[in-house]
Amino acid sequence: MSERRIPLAEPLLGGNEKKYLLECIDSTFVSSVGPFVRRFEEEFAAQVGNRFAVACASGTAALHVAMRLAGVEPGDDVFVASLTFIASANPIVYEKANPVFIDSEAESWNMDPGLVVEELNRRARLGLKQPRAIEVVHLLGQPARMEELMDACERHGIFLIEDASEALGATYTGGAFDGKQVGSIGKVGCFSFNGNKLLTSGGGGMITTNDPELARRAKHLTTQARLPGLEYRHDEIGYNYRLTNLAAALGLAQLEKMPELLASKRGNAAFFDQALASLRGLSVGPRTSWSAPSNWLYSITLNPDIFGRTSRETIEFLQAESIEARPIWSPLHTQTIFSGAALLGSGKVAEKLFAQALSLPSSAGLTAGDRDRVVAAMTRAHETAKKAALTGESR
Ligand SMILES: *Cc1c(COP(=O)(O)O)cnc(C)c1O
């Protein structure tokens, strides 16, 4: 058997990528100066629904700059979801602040607003120092519950950062933020254009905001905090976090195809939701009445007692059929490097999701044949496990 290996998520390049990259080379604008950076920023801001966007070298860099914009200082607390990629938390530590991890809620898999509100009220009552910032992550394409968080941040004067790296294009469909996209609601939104994200620039990120002063300062920090003028004067410690014109060219070409990429992701999800519905013990990821997820990584949970295999056993089963599936992120409160960090909630919701969930192939370029192979393999994983159970074999 030499069936094509189906990867978890691969980029889909088929628009103006080559043309724009050749324009960079022909014009010699290949580095951090050039027209594509400005165009990518302007068109990205318009797409997300913010006034400003500032391009960065990576999503992690965007989050690091966001910490500086929030005024995060050594010893400050910053609340962040536990169930997320480590890039959400590392920038907190870059500023020598303390991440306070928040357990998930089962409905959206994201930061539980109830835990946050309770803790902010407790601190206010006791006169304790509030967190400098709250970083809400929209995991795997699913918007987090924002209304309570925004309310609480406004009431207590806390800077709200959205890590929208995994959810570009996901939208609220009701309530106070009806029609708004993730990343356009908090003080700043952060995005990633890593190779596996909805759009890729080869590597890169973006900060979005409606505040002209925050946008100005973000650009300043990403460009070594250099002052205008000839003499290389700098008024604070900045970074070389610029995006190259080459990367912006790629990103812009991808942005032009975003409606198509998003439609493909949602098409994959609609297909899998339907095709996998009959497998007992399998539940699809968050589906809420108040959001339209981007379905960046199509994720499910398995109840091993009913499905017949654990999520990890199923990943191995798919691997043997040349289909790549992966666990979701290890909750950060369980990582050794964060063993001293505070946790709000028991962490059990995040831990259970981590144990039971897996992500299936989710590329925008997935073919009908690919999707059928995934469904057939998942069905076999279930059926063969059931048979083994009936004949008394152990799993
Ligand atoms: C991908 C990702 C980032 C940042 O990614 P970079 O690889 O630095 O571009 C941040 N947070 C989350 C949740 C991510 O998935």
**Per residue in 6-21, pLDDT tens?**
999 999 999 999 999 9
Cα 222 to averaged position of ligand 1 atoms, centre (Å): 17
Residue with CA at minimum distance from ligand 1 atom 13: 85
Cα 204 to averaged position of ligand 1 atoms, centre (Å): 10
Q: Look at residue 354 and tell me whether its pLDDT is greater than 70.
A: yes
Handedness of CA 269, 274, 278, 283 (dihedral sign): positive
Best residue among 56, 58, 60, 86 to mutate for probing ligand 1, ranked by most atoms within 8 Å of CB: 60
Which ligand 1 atom lies nearest to the CA of residue 166?
15
Ligand 1 within 6 A of 163 CB? Answer: yes
Cα 191 to averaged position of ligand 1 atoms, centre (Å): 7
Q: pLDDT tens-digit profile of 177-229?
A: 999 999 999 999 999 999 999 999 999 999 999 999 999 999 999 999 999 99
d(CA 205, CA 149): 24
Residues listed for the chain:
395
Side-chain-facing half-sphere of 357: CA atoms under 13 Å: 24
Cα 307 to averaged position of ligand 1 atoms, centre (Å): 32
CA distances, 191 to each of 146, 160, 240, 259, 374 (Å): 17, 15, 18, 17, 29
d(CA 193, CA 27): 24
Cα 87 to averaged position of ligand 1 atoms, centre (Å): 5
Residue with CA at minimum distance from ligand 1 atom 4: 59
- Residue 2 pLDDT: 61
Residue 98, C-beta contacts closer than 8 angstroms, at least 6 positions apart: 75, 76, 77, 78, 92, 341, 342
Cα 325 to averaged position of ligand 1 atoms, centre (Å): 19
Q: pLDDT tens-digit profile of 317-337?
A: 999 999 999 999 999 999 999
Strand positions, DSSP E, the chain: 52-56, 77-81, 98-102, 133-137, 159-163, 171-172, 188-192, 205-209, 282-284, 291-292, 299-302, 342-344, 357-359
Residue with CA at minimum distance from ligand 1 atom 5: 59
Q: pLDDT tens-digit profile of 34-83?
A: 899 999 999 999 999 999 999 999 999 999 999 999 999 999 999 999 99
For residue 389, what pLDDT band results from cuts at 50, 70 and 90?
low
Token duo for residue 371: 């999707």
Is the pTM value of this prediction over 0.75?
yes
For residue 395, what pLDDT band results from cuts at 50, 70 and 90?
very low
Ligand 1 within 6 A of 59 CB? Answer: yes
Q: Look at residue 102 and tell me whether its pLDDT is greater than 60.
A: yes
Amino acid, res. 215: A
- Residue 33 pLDDT: 84
Residue with CA at minimum distance from ligand 1 atom 6: 59
Collapse the DSSP code of 48 into the 3-class scheme (helix H, G, I; strand E, B; otherwise coil) and give the result.
Answer: helix
Report the mean per-residue pLDDT for the chain. Answer: 96
Q: pLDDT tens-digit profile of 156-181?
A: 999 999 999 999 999 999 999 999 99
Ligand 1 within 6 A of 166 CB? Answer: yes
Which ligand 1 atom lies nearest to the CA of residue 58?
9
Ligand 1 within 6 A of 194 CB? Answer: yes
Count of beta carbons in the 10 Å neighbourhood of residue 62: 33
Residue with CA at minimum distance from ligand 1 atom 14: 165
d(CA 300, CA 357): 5
Token duo for residue 372: 């059928």
d(CA 205, CA 71): 20
Q: Look at residue 1 and tell me whether its pLDDT is greater than 60.
A: no
d(CA 11, CA 254): 9
State how beta strands 171-172 and 291-292 pair: antiparallel
Residue 81, C-beta contacts closer than 8 angstroms, at least 6 positions apart: 88, 101, 102, 104, 110, 111, 135, 136, 137, 139, 144, 350
